Amino acid sequence: MNISQVIAAAIRVSMLAGLPCAPALAVSAPFAVTAEVVPPSCTPSFSNNGVVDYGLIPWSALNPGATLLGEREISLHVQCDQPALVGLSIRDNRGDSRAGIAVMAGLQTTGAASPSLPAEEEQTLGLGRDSRKQALGYWWLSPIEVRTDERPATLMRSADRQEGWSPAGAEPLNLRYGYALGSPQRQALQPASTHAFKLRVGAALRGRQALSAREPVHFDGHATVTVFYP
């Protein structure tokens, strides 16, 4: 190699050394964070398949005025697959057939409403109609005992069924409200897997003077309990 070739090679090496290095290709590895929040699943069930049967009532056993029938008990359990805040609402499926409170006022003979008797229309449910399309009377539900996960609880109610929960007391359940169970100490809604309600069923009929003695009269009370999540 002559001197001119050496100089040329040195110049090429010098030029290559001065060029910037080619950047490495970027490699990405995307990732994501995923999950699914599973809402609680709660199922209500009544004792005796939700049927309260008063059996056969002789026409002659009815009072001339409104007749208060004997009380029955029924239990409602709401079972959840995880601890949850649970509310209940009641819809009367025979609401167009309930007799008015004024019509049945003779039930309250002491002058003061008994805690187990309804004092408002919204505390009553229809019993159906007779062949003359006359409302037979009404029935109602009153709380006896409530428990969450086998522990004593407090019955709470709310008009908007989401906020403003307050103790309900022992009066008949009111169709305008949603009901839920709370802690007796804090009087706040209590999440639980099991919500248990022991209820008293009351019913009242028009007197025998208002009901036909020529044909059987069939009760047709029917309501739906719906579970919601406050």
Global confidence as pTM? 0.80
Nearest residue to 201 (alpha-carbon basis) of 45, 98, 54, 39: 54
Residue 1: inside a domain = no
- The answer to whether residue 63 is domain-embedded is yes
CA–CA separation, 112 and 103 (whole Å): 17
The amino acid present at 214, given as its one-letter code, is: R
Tens digit of each residue's pLDDT (9 = 90 or more) over 33-75: 888 887 789 999 999 999 999 889 888 888 888 888 888 999 9
pLDDT average, residue stretch 138-160: 95
How far apart, in Å, do the first and last CA atoms of the chain sit?
Answer: 93
Most confident of 58-62, 116-120, 181-185, 201-205: 201-205
Q: Is 64 part of a structural domain of the chain? A: yes
For 108, what's the count of Cα atoms within 13 Å in the CB-facing half-sphere?
Answer: 15
Asked whether residue 177 is domain-assigned, the answer is: yes
111 lies in a domain? yes
Is residue 179 within 8 A of residue 76, CB to CB? The reply is no
Return the CATH number at 121.
2.60.40.1090
Torsion sign across C-alpha atoms 44, 158, 126, 201: positive
The whole-number average pLDDT for the span 91-101 is 91
Q: Does some domain include residue 4?
A: no
On whether residue 24 sits in a domain, the answer given is no
Determine, yes or no, domain membership for 16. Answer: no
Residue 220 has pLDDT above 70, yes or no: yes
DSSP string, 126-179: E--B-TT--B-EEEEEEEEEEEETTEE-EEEEESSSSS--EE--SSPP-TTSEE
- Residue ranges making up the domain that contains 119: 42-228
